């Protein structure tokens, strides 16, 4: 039996979690798990099924669905019950609702279980989200907490929407991020918070390459003593 090496990367929306985690996993040959995509998928399906207002139904959906993640050519692909939702989960509509769905205790419990199962068969895992180092893997080998200024996060997210052909203003994105930050950090179950033993990295004024290098160096230091 091998002992898994778990890297937990947490932080608010737009702090660079997904991009950093993907590149770190690629550099180290680890499995990358995008937990945000999982919550987005449940949000999209709840909207499609018109059950947003029923916590019980949304929780049951999260518990019973079969969810598969693949990382292909630098992008996360997500299939739920054999349906490809990769494009659908990145819409502004999903973006506006995902924090509300993510705070449902039943949803979080169901997806945390799926996340642990996904990681179980892999020796090295990079998992990013908002509660990885505090709830999903509180004993992770390396815990990183990314932060960035609200203005920088807003610019990044607006750029992402523009690249998808969606014209969303920076101010509209900023308003959404403020609301998401409030919901994520104040929810009763598994709120967004920095683990006491997490290393904080401010990505506001550094490049993606620089932040990836910082994280990889931290992991390599820990790997030296890993057995």
Give the start-to-end residue ranges of the domains of the chain: 5-219
Kindly state the tokens that stand for 39. 């919550």
Report the C-alpha gap between 204 and 213 in whole angstroms.
15
CB atoms within 10 A of CB 227: 4
Mean pLDDT by 10 residues, the chain (227 residues): 81 92 92 93 97 97 94 83 94 92 96 93 90 95 97 94 89 94 92 95 95 95 80
First to last CA, the chain: 12
In which residue are the tokens 């990358």 written? 32
In which residue are the tokens 């494009």 written? 87
Kindly state the tokens that stand for 189. 């179950």
Predicted confidence at residue 1, as pLDDT, reads 37
Give burial (CB, 10 Å; 0-12/13-18/19+) of 78: buried
Does residue 189 sit in helix, strand or coil? coil
Tell if the pTM clears 0.85, that is, is over it: yes
Predicted confidence at residue 227, as pLDDT, reads 57
Predicted confidence at residue 3, as pLDDT, reads 66
How far, in whole angstroms, is CA 116 from its chain's centroid?
A: 14
Tell me which CATH code domain 5-219 carries.
3.40.50.300
Cα–Cα distance list, 48 to 58, 82, 89, 175 (Å) = 11, 16, 11, 25
């Amino acid at each position: 039996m091998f002992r898994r090496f778990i890297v937990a990367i947490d932080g608010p929306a737009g702090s660079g979690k997904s991009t950093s985690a993907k590149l770190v996993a690629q550099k180290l040959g680890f499995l990358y798990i995008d937990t945000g995509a999982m919550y987005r998928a449940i949000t999209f399906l709840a909207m499609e099924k018109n059950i947003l207002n029923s916590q019980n139904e949304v929780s049951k959906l999260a518990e019973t669905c079969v969810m598969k993640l693949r990382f292909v050519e630098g992008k996360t692909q997500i299939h739920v019950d054999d349906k490809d939702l990769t494009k659908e989960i990145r819409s502004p509509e999903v973006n506006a609702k995902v924090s509300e769905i993510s705070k449902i205790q039943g949803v979080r419990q169901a997806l945390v279980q799926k996340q642990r199962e996904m990681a179980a068969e892999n020796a090295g895992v990079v998992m990013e989200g908002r509660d990885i180092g505090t709830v999903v893997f509180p004993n992770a080998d390396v815990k990183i907490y990314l932060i960035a200024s609200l203005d920088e996060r807003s610019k990044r997210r607006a750029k992402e929407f523009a690249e998808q052909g969606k014209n969303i203003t920076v101010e509209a994105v900023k308003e959404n991020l403020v609301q998401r930050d409030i919901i994520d950090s104040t929810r009763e179950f598994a709120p967004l918070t920095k683990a006491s033993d997490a290393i904080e990295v401010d990505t506001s004024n550094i490049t993606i390459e620089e932040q990836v290098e910082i994280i990889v160096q931290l992991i390599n230091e820990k790997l030296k003593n890993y057995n």
